[in-house]
């Protein structure tokens, strides 16, 4: 049985909580009360089925009553974040075509009292706005955008596909009309061209002109309104938008042709008008499709957020909206479902696909006491979890905020392009007037119009404006897919400039947990016997070395083991226990061999280890050496960083001889041990004074000062919260090679941005003189202009694919 949908919030209304009011179902009393309030205000016609979502994109003149529904607290609880005493929301904007459109919307919003921050991302058409609710409302912000002719509403991930589908339908409708008009006008143009060479009756020629004019009017009035409206909105706000040259070129050509038709003397260019409008619309559609692909990784992350959860109340399951789950609630998760919130397993065991969080493709086993992250996929077992983090505090929500912020903030390199794009349109109009005047002076008005229009159409600042945003949005999505979270675009630039990489040892280059590295049994004692006797005692220990010994036994020879009795722990020395009537001691030699002669400790070998002795009834059985194992891929990572021209330094608070041994094994350039947290920060500062651009890779609280001081701070998986707070790059993947991938991705991204800018400038430097000299027709210009943007977006899309370990 399918649950009815709540008349207010649009979520499932499930028994026994369904409330019926005037024939409408509601999922809770809160929704019922909110709807009664809307009815009391007379806004139900605007609010309709699912709050302001159903209002849709409004025309340029906003209806205050309709906009007021955006201020409903229940609606805002889903899509508006509370940040201290401010509010923050993401808006989806329709009508954004160029960098000038972005600038115009940002300027309008920044002038609103109470708006403290505005960031609009060209590639995704999303705006991140922060405001003070006591000074301005969300409806006021949306109304300001709509008043200048653009369309806006809060971005709801659950309706992202619906919004894109609606925009695609509108674009395809305009394309269809333009295609129909162009095809018919071109057939007529063929007849006119034939008549030009073979002769045609004047009345027939005039008839064809009028028919072409009617079809062209339909195309420019409906399909061309896409450009005309953008140009007019910019002029009304005192801004020259990139739609202005296109609209001006189309209307000048159209009006000139109308004048020729009315006078009955001369040649018409209705075919040029319809053809280049059709080609430009095809280009816009392809560009929008490419942008959607560029933002695909981010959209996939947004779609990972479940909308509902099954909460156990007095042992009975009840489906509720995720926003209503509270910390401490018991949530039932069935096989195949996405985990709606962060929580700790209290019952059941399952395998979980955590690839969206860590980038690791293999499922991981999770059982009681272990944590599950919201947005991950439960694969094969039903579990019950206790909610530990909900709403904006979940791991997925924090990742989304970080990626959204990174995508919306402009890298410094984009500032130059934005300033160029802001002056671009005025320069284009000037060149078009000069071209028109020159060819008119040459004595041919038709050629003057054609060449002037070609200049207006062929120039393109869109490619320039897309150069950085398209590359950044693809790079951020690729990074998130690999379990690498970049704080912002500036981080990518700084990563590329890094010359010195400083790494902590424990938990970064090494696994961070001791492992049994060496077993040295005395003659007559087998290795398994030594390990088994030690594990009998140490499995009762919470000490890291004791856990390492227990793990080693389980990995080497899992099976029955004797039960220990009378376990005694002597802190800092070791453990004693009785098993099978024999006394076993494990720990420091002086403790284990108390009262006996202590033999010399074995030599360390290539890697310093911590030795534990094991004795049975006072007889030494042998030595167990434990060490913090180097990550298998550490040497490979250092090699790849060297291949990028980076110098690598190991900086640790551990003993100098241990740090040097790890450094030699991994191939780093310099090793410094015995350093306290303030010493690490001082060492980073010293490198910066020498002119190095530093990146610090750390994981612990003791790394936080150095991370904060470094030019770029990278933290590895399972880092301490204080370290994460200081991070520019968070590596969620346990694969240490993510460090090298982050640097490689940054370098490829910046190289791609520079390629995009170089192409855009070269395109305009070549195209404009060709158009001014009469070597490019308006139709050829209409084909070239969108192709330039597609080349830039296509070049950026290459960042979706590796190999990221490639140092070049």
Residue 499 confidence class, pLDDT cut points 50, 70, 90: very high
Backbone angles phi, psi at 48, to 5 degrees: 50, -125
Percentage of the residues of the chain whose pLDDT score is greater than 70:
75
Given a contact cutoff of 8 angstroms between Cβ atoms, the answer to whether 583 and 563 are in contact is: no
What is d(CA 372, CA 529) in angstroms, rounded to the nearest whole number? 38
198 burial via Cβ count (<10 Å: 0-12, 13-18, 19+): exposed
Q: How does pLDDT run across 422-444, given as a tens digit for each residue?
A: 567 678 778 888 998 998 888 77
- Report helix angle 99-110 to 462-481, nearest 10: 80
Residue 400 has pLDDT above 80, yes or no: no
Query: Catalytic residue positions?
Result: 504
Given a contact cutoff of 8 angstroms between Cβ atoms, the answer to whether 740 and 641 are in contact is: yes
Residue 639 confidence class, pLDDT cut points 50, 70, 90: very high
Residue 46 has pLDDT above 60, yes or no: no
What three-state secondary structure class fits 2?
Answer: coil
pLDDT at 600: 79
Query: Torsion angle, CA of 792/796/801/805, rounded to 10 degrees?
Result: 120
Among 117-121, 135-139, 570-574, 697-701, the range of highest mean pLDDT: 135-139
Per DSSP (E only), the strands in 196-326 are 308-313, 316-321
What is d(CA 526, CA 792) in angstroms, rounded to the nearest whole number? 67
130: left (phi over 0), alpha (psi -120 to 50) or beta: beta
What is d(CA 239, CA 236) in angstroms, rounded to the nearest whole number? 7
71: left (phi over 0), alpha (psi -120 to 50) or beta: alpha
Average pLDDT over residues 485-509: 85
3-state secondary structure 743-780: HHHHHHHHHHHHHHHHHHHHHHHHHHHHHHCCCCCHHH
Residue 37 confidence class, pLDDT cut points 50, 70, 90: very low
What is d(CA 582, CA 597) in angstroms, rounded to the nearest whole number? 21
pLDDT at 529: 87
Give the HSE-up count for residue 188: Cα atoms under 13 Å, Cβ half-sphere.
26
Least confident of 196-205, 362-371, 741-750: 196-205
Residue 284 has pLDDT above 60, yes or no: yes
Residue 502 confidence class, pLDDT cut points 50, 70, 90: very high
Average pLDDT over residues 617-643: 89
What is d(CA 614, CA 622) in angstroms, rounded to the nearest whole number? 6
Q: What is the DSSP letter of 52?
A: G
Average pLDDT over residues 710-723: 70
- 313 Cβ partners below 8 Å, 6+ apart? none
Q: How does pLDDT run across 438-479, given as a tens digit for each residue?
A: 988 887 787 888 888 788 777 766 666 667 777 887 887 788
What is d(CA 371, CA 373) in angstroms, rounded to the nearest whole number? 7
pLDDT at 647: 94
Residue 653 has pLDDT above 70, yes or no: yes
Given a contact cutoff of 8 angstroms between Cβ atoms, the answer to whether 429 and 246 are in contact is: no
pLDDT at 677: 72
CB atoms under 10 Å from CB of 137, counted, come to 18
| Per-chain mean pLDDT for the chain | 77
Query: Which of 166, 177, 745, 113 has the alpha carbon at shortest distance from 489?
Result: 745
16 cis-preceded (ω within 30 degrees of 0): yes
Query: Which of 67, 71, 48, 51 has the alpha carbon at shortest distance from 59?
Result: 67
789 token code pair = 């943007």
What is d(CA 192, CA 740) in angstroms, rounded to the nearest whole number? 64
Residue 359 has pLDDT above 50, yes or no: no
Tell me the pTM: 0.59
Of the two residues 285 and 110, the one the predictor is more confident about is 110
Q: Which helix or strand (DSSP H or E) is residue 517 part of?
A: strand 510-521
Does the CA dihedral 780-785-788-789 come out positive or negative? negative
Q: End-to-end CA distance of the chain, in Å?
A: 58
CB atoms under 10 Å from CB of 255, counted, come to 13
Q: How does pLDDT run across 142-181, given as a tens digit for each residue?
A: 888 887 778 788 876 555 566 667 777 888 888 888 889 8
Residue 57 confidence class, pLDDT cut points 50, 70, 90: very low
């Amino acid at each position: 049985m399918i649950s009815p949908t709540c008349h207010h919030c649009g979520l499932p209304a499930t028994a026994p909580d369904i409330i019926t009011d005037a024939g409408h179902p509601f999922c809770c009393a809160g929704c019922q009360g909110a709807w009664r309030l809307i009815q009391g205000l007379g806004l139900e016609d605007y609010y309709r089925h699912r709050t302001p979502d159903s209002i849709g994109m409004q025309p340029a003149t906003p209806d205050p009553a309709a906009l007021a529904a955006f201020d409903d607290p229940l609606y805002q609880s889903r899509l508006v974040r509370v940040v201290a005493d401010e509010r923050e929301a993401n808006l989806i904007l329709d009508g954004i075509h160029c960098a000038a459109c972005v600038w115009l919307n940002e300027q309008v919003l920044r002038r609103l009292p109470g708006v403290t921050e505005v960031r609009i991302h060209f590639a995704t058409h999303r705006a991140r706005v922060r405001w003070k609710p006591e000074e301005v409302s969300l409806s006021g912000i949306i109304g300001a955008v709509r008043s200048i002719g653009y369309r806006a509403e809060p971005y709801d991930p659950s309706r992202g596909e619906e919004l894109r589908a609606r925009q695609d339908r509108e674009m395809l409708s305009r394309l269809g009309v333009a295609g129909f008009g162009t095809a018919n006008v071109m057939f007529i143009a063929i007849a006119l061209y034939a008549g030009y060479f073979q002769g045609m009756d004047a009345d027939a020629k005039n008839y064809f002109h009028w028919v072409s004019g009617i079809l062209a009017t339909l195309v420019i009035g409906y399909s061309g309104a896409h450009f005309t409206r953008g140009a007019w909105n910019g002029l009304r706000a005192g801004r020259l938008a990139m739609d202005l040259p296109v609209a001006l070129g189309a209307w000048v050509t159209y009006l000139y042709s109308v004048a020729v038709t009315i006078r009955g003397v001369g040649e018409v260019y209705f075919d040029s008008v319809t053809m280049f409008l059709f080609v430009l619309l095809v280009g816009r559609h392809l560009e929008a499709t490419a942008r959607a692909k560029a933002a695909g990784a981010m959209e996939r992350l947004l779609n990972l957020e479940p909308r509902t959860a099954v909460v156990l109340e007095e042992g009975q399951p009840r489906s509720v909206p995720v926003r209503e789950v509270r910390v401490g609630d018991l949530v039932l998760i069935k096989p195949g479902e996405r985990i709606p919130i962060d929580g700790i397993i209290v019952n059941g065991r399952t395998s979980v696909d955590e690839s969206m969080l860590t980038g690791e493709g293999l499922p991981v086993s999770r059982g009681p006491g272990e944590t599950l992250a919201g947005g991950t996929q439960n694969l094969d077992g039903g579990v019950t979890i206790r909610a530990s983090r909900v709403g904006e505090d979940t791991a997925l929500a924090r990742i989304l905020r970080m990626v959204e912020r990174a995508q919306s903030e402009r890298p410094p390199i984009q500032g130059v392009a934005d300033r160029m794009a802001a002056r671009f349109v005025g320069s284009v109009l000037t060149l078009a007037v000069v071209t028109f005047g020159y060819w008119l002076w040459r004595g041919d008005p038709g050629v003057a119009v054609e060449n002037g229009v070609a200049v207006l159409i062929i120039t393109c600042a869109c490619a320039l404006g897309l150069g950085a945003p398209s590359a950044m949005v693809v790079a951020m999505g690729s990074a998130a897919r690999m379990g690498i979270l970049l704080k912002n675009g500036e981080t990518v630039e700084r990563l590329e400039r890094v010359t010195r990489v400083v790494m902590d040892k424990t938990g970064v280059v090494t696994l961070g947990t001791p492992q049994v590295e060496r077993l040295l049994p005395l003659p007559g004692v087998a290795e398994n016997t030594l390990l088994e006797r030690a594990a009998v005692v140490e499995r009762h220990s919470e000490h890291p070395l004791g856990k390492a010994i227990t793990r080693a036994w389980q990995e080497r020879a899992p099976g029955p083991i004797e039960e220990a009795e009378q376990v005694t722990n002597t802190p800092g020395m070791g453990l004693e226990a009785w098993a099978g009537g024999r006394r076993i001691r494990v720990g420091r030699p002086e403790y284990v061999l108390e009262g006996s002669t202590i033999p010399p400790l074995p030599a360390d070998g290539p890697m310093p280890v911590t030795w534990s002795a094991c004795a049975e009834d006072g007889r030494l059985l042998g030595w167990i050496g434990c060490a913090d194992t180097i990550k298998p891929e550490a040497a490979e990572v250092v090699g790849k960083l060297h291949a990028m021209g980076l110098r690598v330094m190991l900086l640790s608070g551990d003993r100098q001889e241990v740090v040097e041994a790890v450094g030699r094994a991994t191939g780093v350039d310099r090793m410094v041990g015995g350093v306290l947290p303030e010493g690490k920060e001082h060492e980073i500062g010293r490198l910066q004074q020498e002119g190095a651009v530093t990146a610090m890779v750390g994981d612990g609280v003791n790394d936080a000062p150095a991370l904060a001081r470094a030019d770029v701070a990278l933290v590895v998986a399972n880092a301490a919260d204080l370290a994460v707070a200081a991070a520019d790059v968070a590596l969620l993947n346990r694969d240490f090679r993510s460090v090298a991938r982050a640097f490689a991705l940054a370098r490829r991204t910046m190289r791609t941005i520079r390629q995009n800018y170089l192409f855009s400038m070269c395109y305009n430097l070549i195209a404009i003189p060709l158009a001014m000299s009469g070597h490019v027709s308006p139709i050829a210009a209409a084909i070239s202009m969108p192709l330039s943007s597609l080349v830039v977006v296509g070049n950026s899309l290459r960042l979706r694919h590796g190999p990221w370990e490639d140092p070049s």
